[in-house]
Structure 1
Amino acid sequence: MGDVLRAALREADEVDICVAFLRFSGLGLVVKELEAFTARGGQLRVIVSTYLNVTQPGAVRVLASLSGAQIKLQTGPKGLHTKYYMFGRGRDRRTCWVGSSNFTKSGLFSSIEWNTCHDDPEAVADAEALFTELWERADVILASDEAIWAYERTFLAAQMAAAPPTSIGTGFTAPLPNTAQGEALAQLARLRRDGARRAAVIAATGVGKTLLAAFDAGALACELGRAPDQLSVLFIAHREELLQQACAAYRQLHPAATTGLLVSGQRPGHARVVFATVQSLLGHPELLSRHYDQVVIDEVHHAAAASYRTVLGRLNFHFLLGLTATPERADGHDVLALCDYNVAYEVRLPEAIDHGWLIPFHYFGIADNVDYTPVPWRSGRFDPEALENALLLESRTDLILRHALEKGYDGRRRATVGFCAGVRHARYMAETLGNRGFRAEAITGTVPPAERQRLYDDFADPGHPLEWLFVADVLNEGIDLPAINSLLFLRPTQSPGLFLQQLGRGLRHHPGTEVLTVLDFVGHHKNALVPLQALSRDALRLVGHRHLDSPLQFSPPTDCAVVLEDQTQAILLKVQRELPAAGGKKAHAAAYRLLREELGRPPHLMDFWGRSGVPGFQELRRTFGSWVECRAAMGDADDWERRVERDPLAGALLRAAETNLQLQRVGAYAVAWAMVFFPDDPASGVNAFFVRFPQWRVEQDVEPARALKTLEKKPAWGVLLRDGTLDPALRARLRTDPRLAEEVERRLEYLLAGDHAERHGGVLRTPGALTRYHGYRRSEIVNHLGVQYDPARHNTGAVQVGSDIALLTQLDTRDARAAHQYRNGFLEDRRFFSWESQNRMVPDRGSGQAVADHRRLGHTLHLFAQPGGAGLYFYLGPVDVDQVRGSAPFTAVLKLPERLPATVEEQLLGGG
C-alpha cells in the first residue's frame, strides 16, 4: 500500500486520508512525496485518531506543517478504525482504497494487509460523502498547535504508564539462549570436540555476544565434567562498562560462581571468574600465572595492540573465545590469527535483521551543507581537528534539527544518539540544542565511567527529560541501550565496520519500537558511499520489501528502507562515477589503496580474507598475476620480494602456494606445507601441520603418499616435485631462506581459512529456515539440510540428505562442457519448471526414482535456480513432480508453490 500511496502522490491533485493510526515509521517513508505533492498545490486532507494513544503527536505536527495541508484529529471517546485513501485527478479520475492499512510502517509496507481499490464513480462518491461526514463531526477537530499539545500531554502520560523506568544495568533477563546464541553454542561445542582451543564468534551488535560467553562457560563446564561455579574464567575487555555488563551476565547465569573485577580500585581476590582490562592485568602477574578454563576477549578487534599480545603470550588456558562484530576494523590487525582463523559462528547485521533478531531500520540520506574540500585528508580519513572546525556551524545544526524533527522516531518517547567527530563537536551539539530548548548531553571518553553510567540511566528512563545524547569515542561498542530509537551520523563515516557497530546501538528490540530511524548527513567526499555499501546484503534477494528509493544499486535487509534526497542521490552518483569501474586493475588497485589507508600500513594477505567491500585474493591474483606482483605494482614490495620475483624456482613455489587446488580433503595441503617446513622429512611434518592448524584435526587421518599423488596431478605443484618430494635445489633454498617458507605458509593459510569456513564452519539449520527467493551458496544449502558440507559428496545436481532432496539447477549452461549442458527452465506457464536429470539417471531406481517418485517415498524436493554458471542459487520453494518423460536422462516437470512473480522472473531471466 505504501507503493500505491507514493505513486498516487506523484500524479494526483487531491488526496483524502482517514486512518486510525499515524506514526513516524510510515510517515517518514512518504514525507518526501507529501512535501512535493503539497508544494505543487496538491490538496491534502487527513483525519487521524487519538484512539488508544497510538498516533504520535510529532507525526501529526509534521503533517500539519505541510504547506496547504488540512489535518484533523478525531478526539472523542468513540474508537475510529477507518483506513481510507482517496486519490483524485480531476472530477473524472477518482479512486479510493479501503481496507486495513494504517499510516504506519507495518500498515503501509511490512505487514500482511488487505486493501481493495474502487474506481466506480458511484462507489467513490459514496465513500467521499462518508469522509465528508466524518470531517464535519464535532469530535473531529483541526490539528492546531493547541490541539496537538493537548493530545501530546495525554499521549506522554499514557506512554509513562506503559513503560516504567528502567536501567541498562538490569537488561539481562533471558534465562535461555536466543536462536543466534543457540546456534553459536552448538558450533563452539563441535569445534572443541574436534580439538580446537581457540575460536572467534563474529556477531552483529545486539545479538548478545557477552551473554553468549556466559552461556558457553556453562557448556564448557559440562564438557569438563564440572559444575559451572568451579570453572575458572578470565574475561578481558578494554572499557570498564563492558566488564560491568559482562560480570552481571555471568552472575545471573552462574549465581554460585565467585566473581571479581579488576577495575577502579577493585580487586578480584580469589574469585574464580575474573573481569579485567588488559592494562590492569599487566600489573598483576599473579592473575596472569593462573590456569583458566575459559579466556574471553571481548571486542577482540582491539587485541592487536601490544598490551594484548603481552598478556595473551603469558596466559595458560583450555579455551580462548574472541568476540567481535567487525573483525575488519582498522584496529583489528590480524585479530583472527589470535583465534587460529577459526570462526566458530558468524552472523552479520543484515542477516540478523533478516532473521528478526534485530529490528529493521529506516535510513535517510540527507545532503550535508558542509564543504569538505578544504579539510585535509590523511591516512584514509579527514584531519580530526580540521574536520571538527568545519562541522561547528549553526546552519548545520538548523539542518540537523529540522530533519530530526521531521523524520521523528518510532517509540514511546525520543531517544536519539548523535555520533560526532570529536569531543568539541559533541559538546557543541549538546550546547546548541540546549540553547534551543532541548535537553541534550555530551558523553565522551573524557567523562568518568560513573558519570557516563548516570547519563545512560537517565537517557533510558522514559520519565526523564533527557532525550538527546551526542557522543564521541564512546557507545561505539559494548554498551547496551535498547531505548535508542533514532541515530544521527554527524560526521563522515570512517569505515564500514565502525558504521555498522554504531548502527547496531539502536537495533535491539525494545517495547514500543518497531523500527530504528537513521539520519546520515552525506557530503561529497571519498567515503560517502561507505554507509550504503555497509547496509547492503551480500546475498541479494530477488523479491521483497527492500524500499530502496534510489537509482543507486543497493539491497538493504528485510523490511528496511533507504530514502535519499534528490541532492543526496546526485552527490552519491557523482562519487560513484569517480570510483573505478567494478573489477579490473584500476578498481582492484583502488581497493588496495583504500585498505592500505584504513589499516595505516600495507595490507597483509589475510587482510583480504572474509573482508566485505574488497576483492578476494584470488581476484587480485587474476588481476596482477601473483601477490608479489600485486605488492610491486602498488609500491609495497621490499627487497626480498623484488629478488624472489626474478628467481624462477622460488617464484614458482610462491605461485603454486597461491593456487586454489579446490581439493575435497586437506591432505594435499598438509603434504605441501610439510615439504616446505620439513624438506628432508615431509612425512613426519604432516603431523606438525595439524599442530600448526589445529582446526583441521577433524581431517587428520592423512595418507601422505596418496596426498602426494593428488599434489603431483596439479600442474603448479607437479613441476616442483622430484621423486616424491620438492626439487633438490628448492629444498636447499628453503634451508637457507626461512622467509620463503613463511611466505608459502601465508598463502596456504589464506586458502585453508576459506576451505575450513566452507567445509567445517557452516551453521546447521533445517529446510524450514530457507527463505523463498533468497540466494544461497551450495554449502549453505547443504547446511540447511542439516549436515556439514562435503565437496566430495555434495557436488551433484541432486543432493539428498534424509528425506530432503535439493535440486540445484543452472538456467544457462551454454558455457559448460557438452556433458553438463542440461535443459532446465521455466515453462510458458510460470507455475511449472522443467528439470533434466544427469545423463545416466533413470526414473525407476536409485537417485532418479527418489526424485521422480518423491511423494510415495516421502521425500521433499527443494528447487534452487542459478541464473548463470556461477554465483548464488535462488530458492524457489518446495516443488512437486507433475509428470516424468524419458529415461537416462529423464525430464521432470516440477510444479512450483506459486506462479513465478514478475520481479523474480525479471531477475532470473532478464524478463525473457
Structure 2
Amino acid sequence: MNGQLYIQPSLITNSKSNTFYEELKNSLNSCDRFFFSVAFINYSGLQLLLDIFADLEQNNIEGKIITSTYLSFTDVKSLRKLTTFNNIETKIYIADSFRGFHTKGYIFEYEDYFKVIIGSSNITQSALKTNVEWNVRYITKNKTEGFALEIIEEFNKLWDLTNEINEDFLFQYESFLTEVEKFVLLEKQTFEKSIEIKANNMQKKALSNLSKLRENNQNKALVIAATGTGKTYLSAFDVQSFKAKRVLFLVHREVILSEAMESFKKVNEDRTVSKYAAGNKDLNGDFVFAMVQTLYSNENYKTIPRDYFDYIIADEAHRSYSQSYKSLIEYFTPKFLLGMTATPERTDGGNIFELFNNNIALEMRLRDSLREDLVLPFHYFGISDVTADLENVDLTKIDEVAKKLSIKDRVDFVIEKMEYYGYSGKKRKCLAFCVNNAHADFMANEFNAFGY
C-alpha cells in the first residue's frame, strides 16, 4: 500500500449493487493470509466459500477461523468440512450459560497493511447475501498501526481460549444438537398452532385484482406466480372473500392434494373438507379436493351436477389443456374459476390463457418474487463438464445427445462434485434435468447403484 492514499472506513451492506459475500470473496482472493472470528457458521454460508477456500489451498494461502457453540447454531457439517482444508486451522469456542460468543470479525493480511471488517454478518447464506447487515471495512495505514496490532492481539487471545476440533468433539457436539432439536421442534409445533395466517404482498395484490375482475362480471381468472409464493393460500383467501358454499380444488398429485387441504383448514377453520381420490370418492365436504385422474376416469365427473360447485380452482393450470383437465373445466359451470400456475407457457402450442378468458389476475415471476422476499434466494455453482464431448454432435438429435451423456465417467464426476459441495439441512433433495427418458432412466439407475 506504499504511496496509496489512506482509505476512510466504509459501510458494507447487502445492497443490489454489492453484497458482503462479494466483499468477502474479493478480499480472500487477494490477501496473503486471513483470520476470521465469527460466532455462527452454517453450511448454507460455508458452501458459498468452498471454491474460494479450495483455490486458496492450491495457492498456499493460510487462514485461521474461530467459531463457537453459542446458541447451538454452528452445525457439525460445517465444522467437519472446514477440517478438510489443509491451509485452514479452525478452532471452536465453547460458550456456556455465563459467557456467550458473538464476534463477527474478518481480518485480511496484505504485504504492508491489514483490511479489517467488523459488523453483523455471520457465515450464513442469508447474512452473506440478503439479510439487512451492517459491516464496517477499515484499511490500516501500515502493519504497525495501533488498531491493527490491537485487533491481531485480541484475535490471538481468543485463539488461545478455543479448543481443537476433533472427532471426539464432533461426536459429542452432534449428540448434544440432536437432543436440542427435539425440544426446538416441540416448541415450534406449539407456536405454529397459535399463528394467524395473513396474506402476503403477492396475495393482497391478487385478491384485489380478483375482486375487480368480478366487479366487471368476469367469472374466470389466471394467477401466474413462482413456486413457493403462496398460491394455495391465495386461493383459500379468495374462497373466503367470495363466500363460496361449495368449492372444488383440482390437483394431479396426491401430495399436493393433502397439502392444499391443510392450508384451507388453517384459513377456513369453520368449513369441512373432503377428498375425492382413488378409494375415497367423498363429495360431502364444503371444500372437495379432487384428483383430476380420478374425477375424469370412467366419466365420474358426469355423475355430479354441472353447477354443484360455485367456485373451482385449477391448480397447476398449465396442465389444464390436457384432455382430462380440459374436460372437467368445460363440464362444470361454477360462478368463478381460478387457475394457478408458475409456468403458463406450453411447448405444444396449447393456449391456457384462452381457457381463463385471458384474464390475468396477477403475474409475479421468479425475479419479482425474489425482489419481494417471497422465496428464498439461490446460488449457482457452475461446473465445467470434462467428461462428455458434444462438439461435433447435432444437439437437435436428442437420442444421440443422450447416448453421449449416458456414460459412467460422467456419473462419477457429477457425484464427486455433488458430494464436494454438499447440502444445507438434514436431507439432500435433488432435481435432475435430463435430455430424454432414456437419459433419465440411466442417471436414476446409476445414482441408485451408488446408494442414493
TM superposition score category, shorter chain reference = 0.7 to 0.9
Q: State, as a whole percentage, how many aligned pairs show the same letter.
A: 28
Q: How many angstroms apart in 2 are the aligned matches of 1:270 and 1:85?
A: 62
Q: How many angstroms apart in 2 are the aligned matches of 1:398 and 1:152?
A: 30
Pick from 362, 370, 374: which aligns with 1:357?
374
AA aligned to 2:123 is: F
Q: Name the counterpart of 2:3.
A: none
Q: How many angstroms apart in 1 are the aligned matches of 2:205 and 2:260?
A: 20
Query: Deviation at 1:190?
Result: 0.8
TM-score calculated relative to the size of structure 1? 0.42
1:200 aligns with 2:229: no
Q: Name the counterpart of 1:400.
A: 415
Q: Name the counterpart of 1:849.
A: none
1:286 aligns with 2:308: no
Query: Deviation at 1:63?
Result: 2.2
Query: Deviation at 1:201?
Result: 0.8
**1:57 and 1:292, CA in 2 relative to 1: closer, same or farther beyond 3 A?**
same
Query: Deviation at 1:173?
Result: 6.7
Pick from 344, 347, 365: which aligns with 1:348?
365
**For 2:275, what is the secondary structure of its paired residue?**
strand
Query: Deviation at 1:128?
Result: 1.8
Query: Deviation at 1:70?
Result: 1.6
Deviation digits for residues 422-442 of structure 1 (CA, Å, limit 9, x no counterpart): 35533542441x3xxxxx5xx
Task: Give the number of the structure whose alpha-carbon radius of gyration is greater.
Answer: 1
Pick from 160, 166, 181: which aligns with 2:203?
181
**1:299 and 1:72, CA in 2 relative to 1: closer, same or farther beyond 3 A?**
same
**For 2:229, what is the secondary structure of its paired residue?**
coil
**For 2:447, what is the secondary structure of its paired residue?**
helix
Q: Name the counterpart of 1:264.
A: 278
Q: Name the counterpart of 1:75.
A: 94
Q: How many angstroms apart in 2 are the aligned matches of 1:247 and 1:2?
A: 40
Query: Deviation at 1:88?
Result: 2.0
Q: Name the counterpart of 1:806.
A: none
Q: Name the counterpart of 2:60.
A: 41
Q: Name the counterpart of 1:130.
A: 154
Q: Name the counterpart of 1:104.
A: 124
Q: Name the counterpart of 2:261.
A: 247
Runs (5+) with no aligned partner, structure 1: 222-227, 435-439, 441-912
Alignment check: 8 A CA contact 1:304 1:332 kept: no
Alignment check: 8 A CA contact 1:258 1:271 kept: yes
**1:400 and 1:9, CA in 2 relative to 1: closer, same or farther beyond 3 A?**
same
TM-score calculated relative to the size of structure 2? 0.81
Q: Name the counterpart of 1:32.
A: 51
Alignment check: 8 A CA contact 2:247 2:287 kept: yes
Q: Name the counterpart of 1:117.
A: 138
**For 2:380, what is the secondary structure of its paired residue?**
strand
Q: How many angstroms apart in 2 are the aligned matches of 1:388 and 1:211?
A: 43
Deviation digits for residues 262-308 of structure 1 (CA, Å, limit 9, x no counterpart): 21121224545333233333322121534431122111111111223
AA aligned to 2:164 is: L
Pick from 109, 115, 123: which aligns with 1:88?
109
Pick from 148, 158, 166: which aligns with 1:144?
166
AA aligned to 1:416 is: K
Alignment check: 8 A CA contact 1:336 1:342 kept: yes
Alignment check: 8 A CA contact 1:204 1:349 kept: yes
**For 1:296, what is the secondary structure of its paired residue?**
strand
**Range that drifts further, 181-190 or 395-404:** 395-404
Aligned counterparts, 1:896-911, within 5 A:
none
Q: How many angstroms apart in 1 are the aligned matches of 2:220 and 2:405?
A: 45
Runs (5+) with no aligned partner, structure 2: 1-19, 435-439
**Range that drifts further, 146-155 or 187-196:** 146-155
AA aligned to 2:145 is: E
Deviation digits for residues 837-868 of structure 1 (CA, Å, limit 9, x no counterpart): xxxxxxxxxxxxxxxxxxxxxxxxxxxxxxxx
Q: What is the number of equivalent residue pairs in this alignment?
A: 416
Alignment check: 8 A CA contact 2:389 2:404 kept: no
**1:345 and 1:174, CA in 2 relative to 1: closer, same or farther beyond 3 A?**
farther
Higher relative contact order (CA 8 A, sep 6+): 2
Query: Deviation at 1:10?
Result: 2.2
**1:242 and 1:8, CA in 2 relative to 1: closer, same or farther beyond 3 A?**
closer
Q: How many angstroms apart in 2 are the aligned matches of 1:247 and 1:127?
A: 56
Q: What CA RMSD, in Å, does the superposition of the two structures yield over aligned residues? A: 3.2
Query: Deviation at 1:50?
Result: 1.8
Query: Deviation at 1:194?
Result: 0.5
Alignment check: 8 A CA contact 2:225 2:342 kept: yes
Q: How many angstroms apart in 2 are the aligned matches of 1:268 and 1:214?
A: 20
Query: Deviation at 1:255?
Result: 4.6
**1:418 and 1:13, CA in 2 relative to 1: closer, same or farther beyond 3 A?**
same
Deviation digits for residues 424-466 of structure 1 (CA, Å, limit 9, x no counterpart): 533542441x3xxxxx5xxxxxxxxxxxxxxxxxxxxxxxxxx
Q: How many angstroms apart in 2 are the aligned matches of 1:144 and 1:357?
A: 40
Q: Name the counterpart of 1:153.
A: 175
**1:98 and 1:260, CA in 2 relative to 1: closer, same or farther beyond 3 A?**
closer
**For 1:362, what is the secondary structure of its paired residue?**
coil
Aligned counterparts, 1:329-344, within 5 A:
329-330=346-347, 333-344=350-361
**1:234 and 1:250, CA in 2 relative to 1: closer, same or farther beyond 3 A?**
same
Q: Name the counterpart of 1:536.
A: none
**1:306 and 1:191, CA in 2 relative to 1: closer, same or farther beyond 3 A?**
same
Deviation digits for residues 70-119 of structure 1 (CA, Å, limit 9, x no counterpart): 221122534222233222234x3334334433333344444322324151
Alignment check: 8 A CA contact 1:370 1:391 kept: no
